[in-house]
Structure formats: C-alpha cells, structure tokens
Amino acid sequence: MKNIIRIILLFPVVFLMACSTTTWIVESQEEVDRGDYKLLNSKLFLQKVGKVTPELPVAQFRLKAANTFEYAQRIKTDRYIQKYRPRWGFLALGMASASLGTYSALEFSESNKQGQQIALFGASAALLGASFLNMKPIGEPQPTGETRLLRRTGVFVDTDTLDATINSEQLASYSIRYRDRVLLENTDTKITGNNLSINFLEELNPDIFPGEEDISIDLDITFNDSLYSYEIPIRSIFDPFVVVSTTVTALRNEARSNSQNILTDLAQGSQLRLVETQGDWVKVLYGISENWVSANDVDIIWRPSQFSRELSVVAIPNVPFGSVDVERDIPRLAEDDRRRWGFIITNQGYSGDLPEKAYAYRDGQLIEKYFNNALGIVPTQTIKFQDISGNQTAVNGFNRLVSRINNREVDLTVYLNGYAEIDPQTDKVYFLGTSSDSVASRIDLNSLLDGFANLPVQKLSIIADIDFIKGSSKRNSLDLLAATITTQVPNSTVVFSSNTDQRSYIYAEPNGVQKRHSIFTYFLADAIKKRNTNWTEIRKYLERNVSFTSRSIFNAAQDIRFFGSDTLSLTD
C-alpha cells in the first residue's frame, strides 16, 4: 500500500519533467529540390559592368552564361519543439481530488475491501494525471532546423546567371554612332578572359563633337545573335573645356559686364576647364578659383580628363588706365575752345550672340582724354555714352547733343566704337547696340550721320572704329555712308577703321606686346601724341601703321577708309 502511495506522489514529479514535445509540420507543397535537376539550355551573353567616367572612359562587359535548369518540386516538412507548463488551477483541483481519494482509500483497512481501496487509488491517480495533461503551451514552436523533403509534386524551371566557362574563341562586333553618323564599325573583336573592353579614348576624336553639353553617342554590340544598345553621354567620356576664340576676353569674378570686376584678360587660345554655363556667361576654373567669361568669347571643346594638366592659359594682367604709353604724357596741342564739342559712343557689353567688344570702354576713355587734354575740347562739352542698347537710345543721345549746342556754330568731333553690320538687301550700314534684340539694336548710321551733318557745324570729323562682325564685300557701302557727311559739310572728314570685309583688330600679340586698345584707336592716339593734328598727317600715319600691325599680328588685312577733306585740322 505504501508503494502505491509513493507511485501516486511520484507521478506528478515525473510528469513535470516531461514538459515539451516535437512535431513535423508541412511547410510547402512545392518546395524546389535543388539537388534533383537537369540542364535544359545554356546561352552566353554580355553583361555591362561598372560606369564610364572621364577618369576611366572604358565600357566594360563580362561574358556570362544563362543556364536554364528543371528542378523537382517536393513536399517540405520542418521539425519543431513546443514547450508546455501546467495550468495551475486544474493542477490544484486535481491534486485536491487525488488527495481526497487517497485519504478515502486509506480508510478501507479490511481485507474484504481491498478492491475498493485499489479503485480509489486508481481514480486518484487518474484525476491527478488528467490535471497534468491539461497543459498550456509556452511561446511559439521553435524550429530545430531539421527538414525533410517527401514525395515529388511537380517541376520548377529556373535560369541561373554565372560567369561563363568557355572552351572556344568568342567574337563580338561593335559600332559607335553619333546622331546619323557612324563613327566606328568594328567587326570580330576577340573576347579575352571573359572580358570585352572598349576604350573610347582610342576610338573617338573629341574634335568631331560640337560644344554642346547634352549630347551622347550610341554604342551597339552584336554577340551570339543578340544586339546590345547603350546611350552614353559625352560627359561620361570627355570633360568640357573652353578655348578663348576672340583676341582678348575679360576674366571676371561675377557674371556681369562691369569694368570693376575684371581680374585679368585672357588672350586668344587660352584654355580653361568649364564648370557650368549660365545664360550669356560661362563659369570656368582658373587655377583653383571659379570665375566667369562671356559665353560669346569662348568655344566649348571636349577633351580627355588628363587634358587639364596641359592647359595653356595666356593671362594679360589687368593694368590700370595710364599704364600704356599712349595713355600718359598727353601733350597740350590747343587751348580750350568753347566752339569745340566731342561726342563719344562706345559699346562693349554686348549680349545675345555677339561677343564682348574688347577694350571699347578703354578706347573711349583714351579718346576722351585726348579730346580734353590735347585738342582743347572742354570736359563739359564732351558728351559720352557707353553701351547704348539700340536706335532709340542713340536718338536720345543725339537729341541731348542738339539741345546742348542750341543752334550755335560748333566744331564737332564724333568717335564711335562697337560692332556694325551691312544689310545684304539694302547695303545700308548699321551700328549695333548692345541689346539682344537683333532688330531693336540696329542703329541706322545713315540717319545718325545725316543728323550730325544738319547741325550748325563749321568743321565735322567722324571717327568710326567699328568692327564689321557681319561684313560684306560691297565696299561702296562706306562711300555712300560717308557721302551723307561730305556732300553736306565742306569742312568734314569721315574715317573708318577698316573695310567692310575686314575686322578691326585688337593690338594684342600672343605672348607679346599688349596695348589694351584696338589697333586703329591706338595709332590714332599715337599720331596725335606725336603732335599730328592735321588729317593729312594723321591719315598717312594710320595707313602706314594699322595695316602693317594687323598683318604682323593676325596675318590679316585692315585698311582704313578715308573720306572728305584731308587738310582739315582737329585744332585750328
């Protein structure tokens, strides 16, 4: 009897130790069995790797194999362990019931009631066991990592991409196109070591690409009956640089035309790295600083990245006015005379498609100094304009002169500096204002000169340092224009800095003399500085020096055109 009681009491202790179970759960009906497969197909192809950059302008491709396999699908089961703990209420009730049953069984001490005693013990044990069977799971089932694949349920087809293993020579061909032009067509290029490399620096000439930022080439590769097409921006291959296309351009610390923001002048052919474009201005890298030049004064070119180590920059120091020989020691050739008047227009800060007119402001300042210091024109009777925008502004300036003269007889000297063009339909000469509006900027020189001729002038000199940026071979345009003055004013002279089919050049030698003026204006001032005030002497000096200098520096003709009286004096 005591043994039975021990068994009943030992049962809960043993059961408390058995508090976990394991089970197999079906996870998938279509699990892919990677160990049960067969190869259906294998195809070689090219895969692009890396990026094309100016530092590494190479398109790289890796030979890959696309292998198609058929895999078996099976039922997948995973094994889990679940832990349990007793439900304490049921356990307490079961233990109480078992204790009561055990106590009752012990009361049956007579031998004839031994069967009932055993029955009570059994019932007590059953109640206690039932209370332990009603267990509560602890947490989620924990996987053991054991997996079983059971019966086959289907097939799964998949393609794996791997580095190719080849035993025979593989060939590819490629072509490079720019717009509708085929730049290169290469056939039967051998793929070496599973790699195909196309070096654009070896295949492309950067000079064929225009100076535009958003352009690209098309690369087509044919391999294993497949065509691979890629669009590659030129910026990924080459870096943009600029080359100064005008004789001189100003390097500025801000994107606006101002005589105070010029850091230095750059000679024609100077090369700088382009940073960005902004309307009429281009930001460039000069040394380690970012500065600005006029977009109309430079051409954008494409070059390899290492070109930045070979840049050629010819900087002309920005020296103050008075540093050039003709700007100082100006002789006094006449006393101030209230009859003498000066009228000056200098256009430098052009916008739109026209480049900046180099040194136009400085030319105007030089002529003003000679008007006032050498020729006896008082400063208050020198009317000066810079950057007139168009015809209406010119008319306003002329009206100001008319109101100032107020019908008095005067000696008038006019100086014009800027761009000009000739209308191909009418052959009329137009002085160009700085406005970007090509129509509104045209100043009719015939009308302007006719206005000067109708003033009450005793002597009239028109000095036109105009650059025919849109020239013409019809030279009689200047004859007709000058006749507007010479036929109405007997004591008059009209002189142009060049023919209509020529340019008015800057006096700037590459790596040499930098006079910071136009050739014509420099020698005009130099002639007066040498005390030549009669137009006969000035004309000979200009004809002798202007053409010679332009041919020496630019290997191009620049012949002055002179009309009217050459006996006229600027001072008498």
The reported pLDDT for the residue numbered 103 is 66
Beta strands in 423-489 (DSSP E): 429-432, 442-444, 457-470
What's the pLDDT at 110? 56
Three-class SS state of 503: coil
* Residue ranges covered by each domain of the chain: 24-80+147-237, 239-294+301-317, 325-564
- Name the E strands within 50-134: 58-86
**Three-state secondary-structure class, residue 556:** coil
Rama region for 130: left / alpha / beta (φ>0; ψ in -120 to 50; rest): alpha
3-state DSSP percent of the chain in helix, strand and coil, to 5: 30, 40, 30
- Cα–Cα distance measured from residue 213 to residue 207, given in angstroms and rounded to the nearest whole number: 14
R_g of the chain computed on alpha carbons: 49
5 φ, ψ (degrees, to nearest 5): -65, -40
**Two tokens at 458?**
């005793």
CB of 433 within 8 A of CB of 347? yes
Find all residues with CB under 8 Å of 6, minimum gap 6, and list them: none
CA distance 172 to 222: 6
Q: Does the CA dihedral 292-298-302-306 come out positive or negative?
A: negative
Q: Give the other-Cβ count within 10 Å of 240's Cβ.
A: 21
Show the tokens assigned to 516: 């910071």
Answer for the pair 48, 219: CB distance below 8 angstroms, yes or no.
Answer: no
Query: Which segments of 19-107 does DSSP mark as H helices, in order?
Result: 88-107
- Residue 178 tokens read as 């720019």
Q: Which CATH architecture has domain 239-294+301-317?
A: Roll (2.30)
Answer whether 517's CB lies under 8 Å from 366's CB: yes
Q: Among 3.30.70.2500, 3.40.30.10, 3.40.1160.10, 3.40.50.1460, what is the CATH number of 325-564?
A: 3.40.50.1460
From first CA to last CA, the distance across the chain in angstroms is 158
Look up the pTM and report it: 0.67
Residue 516 backbone phi and psi in degrees, to 5: 60, 30
Splitting the chain (572 residues) into consecutive groups of 10 residues, what average pLDDT does each group show?
A: 50 53 84 85 87 92 88 88 72 69 64 64 66 70 85 86 78 90 85 87 90 88 90 92 89 85 87 90 91 92 87 83 94 94 94 86 96 95 94 92 93 96 88 86 93 95 92 79 94 95 89 88 97 95 96 93 93 86
At 408, list the tokens.
Answer: 């008095």
The one-letter amino acid code at 328 reads R
Report d(CA 145, CA 33) in Å as an integer.
Answer: 17
